[in-house]
Amino acid sequence: MTDVFWAFVIASMLLLAGKLVRSRVRVLQALFLPSSIVAGAIALLLGPEVAGRIAGLANGSEGALAHGLFPEAVLDAWSQMPGLLINVVFAALFLGKTIAPPKEIWRDAGPMVVHGQIIAWGQYVIGLLLLLAVLAPVWNLNPLAGALIEISFEGGHGTAAGLAGTFRELGFEDGADLALGLATVGGVAGVLIGTVLVNWAVRRGHLTPPGAAPQPEQEQLAEHEERELPEAQERAEKHLIDPLSVHLGYIGAAIGLGWLLHYGLMELERWTWVALRGPELMRHIPLFPLAMIGGVIIQIVLDRTGRARRIDRKLVNRISGASLDLLIVSALATISLAALGTHIGPFLLLALAGIAWNLLAFFLLAPRLFKENWVPYGLANFGQCMGMTVIGLLLIRMTDPQNRTGAMHSFGYKQLLFEPVVGGGLFTAASLPLIAQFGPVPILVLTAGIMVGWLIFGYVKFWR
C-alpha cells in the first residue's frame, strides 16, 4: 500500500507539471492535448524508457538511474493502475444520466448511431484485412493486431490501457503498447485533421463560418471537464449534492454488479459451452464493459424508484475524470518504446489505414446519412472515432458553437446505443479472445457482415 500511495502522489505531481507545461507551450494548447497526456509524456521521458536508457548508455551498464527518476516499485504500481481505474471510468459512464426510452433515443440519434456503427465495424474490417494481406505475411504479427485500430481509435487511451491485461494473457504483450501509441496518434491527428475539415467545409459552402468557441470552453473540453451534455449535468443543479463518499459507493456498487455479471457469465459458459468442449472465452473478457452495464442497471433502478436525483452527474464526472487522468499518466509512463520500434512498420500502416477509413466514412457516408447539417454531425463521429469522445465534442463546438443544429444532443444520445457494444464496449473487449480462439478470418466475416448490415439499413432508412 505504501508503493501504491507514492505512485498516486507522484502521478498527481506529474499531472500538475503537465498542466503547467501545457499552459506555457502554445503548440500543446493548439492541439487540445489534455494535461494528462502531457503528464504521461513527461513521465515517459523521465522513466526507464528514455532517461533510464540514456543513463545506461552513459554508464555503460545499469546504474542508479536504470529505472529513470522513479523507483521500480512505483513503476510496478503504475503498470497495474490502468486495468483497475478503467473500471471506475466505465462504471460512471451512465450514472446520473437519464436513460431515455429507446424509441426517443432512436428518433433523435438514429442516423448518428448508424454512421458510428459503420465506422466502428469498418475499423475491424480494415484492420483484419491488413493483417491477412500484409501484417502477418510480411511481419509475422500476432493475429490480435487486427483489432488494434478499433481498440485504439474508437476506444481511445482508456480502452487501450484497460485491455493491456488481456493482451498479455493472450500472448501479445506488445499489443498494449501499440494500442496506446495508436490512440495518441489518433488523438493528435483528430484535432489537426478535424480543424482542416472545418476550414474546408467553410470554403466549400457546406458550413457557415461559425467563429471559434470561447477559449475557456475550449479549455474545459481539452481537460475532459465536459464529457456529457449540459442538459445531463444540470439535472441535479438545484438539488442536494451527496458527499463524494456516497458517489464512490454508487460507482463501487456498479463495479460489484459488473463482477457478479462476469462471474455469472463464466459459470453459465462453464456449464453450457465449455461442457460441450467449447473454448473458454468469458474469462478473457475484462471487467470494465460489464461494470458499465452494472452502472446502467443501477441508473435504471434509481430512475424507476424515483431516487435518480440523489446522484449528481457533475460529481460523477469529477470522479471519472480524475480516474481517467491517472489512468492515462500511468499507462503512458509505462509504455514500451522498444515495442513500438520493433513494430514501427505495422504501427505506421495501421495508423494510416485507420485515418484513411475514418476520412472515407466522413466524406462518403455523412453527406448521405444526414439530411441536413451533415458537417457537424459527421465531424462529431469523426472526432470520436479518432480516439477521444472529447474531440467529437470539440469539433461540434467549432462548427456549431450555439448548438443550433442539434448535433450535440444527438451525439449524447448516440452513446447510449453505441458504447455498450463498440468503442470500449462488450464486443471491443470480446474481440481479442474471439480472434485468439477462432482466428482472424471468421471474425473478419462476422464484422464485415455486421458493417454491411448497418450500411444496408442506413441506405434503406436514411439515405438522402
One DSSP character per residue, 176-242 reads: HHHHHHHHHHHHHHHHHHHHHHHHHHHHTTSS----PPPHHHHHHHHTT---S-HHHHGGGTTSPPP
pLDDT recorded at residue 35? 86
- DSSP run (H or E) holding 319: helix 313-333
Is residue 307 assigned to a domain? no
Is residue 273 assigned to a domain? no
66 CB contacts (<8 Å, ≥6 apart)?
48, 52, 55, 56
pLDDT recorded at residue 62? 57
Cell triple for 405: 443544429
Cell triple for 229: 451534455
Residue 344: give the domain boundaries: 83-235+319-461
pLDDT recorded at residue 218? 54
Is residue 144 assigned to a domain? yes
Q: Residue with C-alpha cell 474545459?
A: 220
Closest CA to 332 of 54, 49, 90, 51: 49
In angstroms, the CA 411 to CA 433 distance is: 30
In angstroms, the CA 86 to CA 159 distance is: 7
pLDDT recorded at residue 111? 92
Overall pTM > 0.85 = no
pLDDT recorded at residue 227? 44
pLDDT recorded at residue 161? 86
pLDDT recorded at residue 52? 82
pLDDT by residue, tens only, the chain of 464 residues: 899 999 999 999 999 999 999 889 888 877 767 788 889 999 999 988 888 888 766 665 555 676 788 888 999 999 888 888 989 988 988 888 877 778 888 888 899 999 999 999 999 999 999 999 999 999 999 999 999 999 999 988 888 888 988 999 999 999 999 999 999 899 888 888 988 998 898 888 777 665 445 555 555 555 554 444 444 344 444 444 447 888 999 999 999 999 999 999 889 988 887 777 777 778 888 888 899 899 989 999 998 888 888 888 888 888 988 898 898 899 888 888 888 888 999 999 999 999 999 999 999 999 999 988 899 999 999 988 997 777 787 788 878 777 788 888 888 888 888 888 898 888 998 999 999 999 999 999 999 999 999 999 999 998 86
pLDDT recorded at residue 233? 42
Is residue 445 assigned to a domain? yes
- Could you give the number of structural domains in the chain? 1
424 CB contacts (<8 Å, ≥6 apart)?
90, 154, 155, 156, 158, 159, 162, 288, 289
pLDDT recorded at residue 122? 96
Closest CA to 381 of 93, 36, 170, 113: 113
In angstroms, the CA 105 to CA 100 distance is: 6
Is residue 139 assigned to a domain? yes
How close are the terminal C-alpha atoms of the chain, in Å? 59
Q: Nearest 5 degrees, angle CA 296-CA 151-CA 183? A: 110
Q: Is 328 helix (H, G, I), strand (E, B) or coil?
A: helix
pLDDT recorded at residue 425? 84
Cell triple for 193: 485533421
Is residue 153 assigned to a domain? yes
Q: Is 447 helix (H, G, I), strand (E, B) or coil?
A: helix
Give the count of alpha carbons within 13 A of 11, CB side only. Answer: 30
In angstroms, the CA 389 to CA 411 distance is: 10
